[in-house]
Amino acid sequence: MTKEFTTQSWEKDVLSSAKPVLVDFWAPWCGPCRTQGPIVDTLASEVGDTAIIGKLNVDENPETAGQYGVQSIPTIAIFKSGKIVQKFVGVTGADKLKEALASANG
């Protein structure tokens, strides 16, 4: 299931996670984000509990997006041990994201 991340839940849900975390930085008005969203949702059901998959609305959480230098959306960031290990800007396919998660799971 895809989680909704917020600035308030960021520390617990993303930075303190023992599993790799994929974060889709998005906004409701962003056309490419509407293309990326279903890819991320499908990926969440496919990876099960090997990783945490979620989205952060940049309009509602601008300080968190800014902290990670998100300037274009969609941006996908994969976190491991609280740090970004891979980042993708623009619509990114499921295979590439699965590969990046597998690499983060190492």
Q: What are phi and psi of 25, to 5 degrees?
A: -85, 120
14 a catalytic residue:
no
30 a catalytic residue:
yes
How much helix, strand and coil, in percent to the nearest 5, is found in the chain?
40, 25, 30
Sheet holding 3-5, edge to edge: 3-5, 52-57, 21-26, 75-80, 83-89
Catalytic residue among 23, 33, 44, 52: 33
Give DSSP secondary structure letters for 85-96.
EEEEES---HHH
Catalytic residue among 7, 17, 30, 85: 30
Active site residues: 30, 33
